[in-house]
Structure 1
Amino acid sequence: MINVLIADDQALIRDGLSLILDSQPDMEVIGEASDGEEAVRAAATLRPDVVLMDIRMPGVDGLEATRRVTSGGDCRVLVLTTFDLDEYVVEALKAGASGFLLKSSPRQHLLHAVRTAADGGALLDPRLTVRLVEEHVRGRTNRSPATEKQLARLTAREREVLGLLARGLSNGEIARHLHLGETTVKSHVAHTLDKIGARDRIQAVVFSYEAGIVRPGDPA
């Protein structure tokens, strides 16, 4: 059973999501929250598998709430937004969100998203992530000391793998590009994520662009 917490400041949205999720034999809505602060408290108390988090809420917004929730355990967060290029989406991914979902998405997309997140997967297609991140970092040139330190931990091969990962390539595509076995690439990816402190491939894409490993407009 997938336990879900819904955080949205609109009661009608919460009610609609609850009806859809509770109709599934493998899902149960175990709580609701109308703002970020309430969401953080509910997540700590109820320990849901997945939180559906509205990105824009009064008081503590969905971005800060996502950061607090994901730093406190294994709970996965799916960000709810109105626009696919919402200015806060990339920040939410950096904060630990497993992906985002448009509020206008069909119910089957919602159900797939919740199951994917609960299973530990990331919802965004890597190529869509690239587009989002490019918009976010375009024109930025400075690299933080913390990022420099993380980059220094990577081997030359790991940096190469990270660059290809950041362009949206799958493990199989990276393996073919570098003439390596897919198991070897999988190992490189795992080590790279660990060294840069990325929870998943989505956060690795964000890191790569902000670190300048790849830049907006680079060929795939």
Structure 2
Amino acid sequence: MRILIVDDEPLARARLSALLQECSDVEVVGSVGDGEAALAALSETQPDVLLLDINMPGLDGKTLAARLANRARPQIVFCTAYEAHAVHAFELGAADYLLKPVRPERLREALKRVRQRLQSHAREPMGWLHARVRGEPIRIALDEVIWLLAEEKYVVAHRAGDQLLLDESLRQLEETYPDHLIRLHRNCLVPAYRLIGLKTLADGRVLARLAGTDFSPEVSRRNLPALRKLLRMG
């Protein structure tokens, strides 16, 4: 089971890493200090579970969990020093809620619960897109896509390491997946959970910061208010 540790305290991350070394059939694929770094690491590390702190600067644990809700992977196990967030954590679909300092037996219990959840249902992508490779039709999972860009007569799906031409138009994709895709400008859509921030340049232009890539597409003035609202709401 692949685990990503997310905690703004280095000592807490180190303790969890040490405890996980004593657990069977687990692999720590990353250890990061905030929610934005966790989002950026998701595509590369493909974790089965996040051991997630709640109170962190910037994108906190509850906001991150809300963005990842309704996905089979990664499962969320909160690791926090505060009991007060437990009810909300389970409302967000968390597999378990561990209080710091995390005890080894409770960690093993939480991981057992995650395994049961993962075994109970196969990973279901948010949706499927239809592409072509050397003229042959294939389908790709929507949650593998980082951004979608209309170029002349084609829509190109950008994934980690490759690009694929799609059969659908941006408008068709936006209408098919209104809850998953957001428009940055007339030629660009991105999965909503990929949006981790905005950057305003000296000339007034605004760029989107996306998880899983250093590419920052420009945001149109028309779409900017909706994106700012989305970020505020988490």
TM-score, normalization: structure 1? 0.49
Q: Which has the larger radius of gyration?
A: 2
TM-score, normalization: structure 2? 0.47
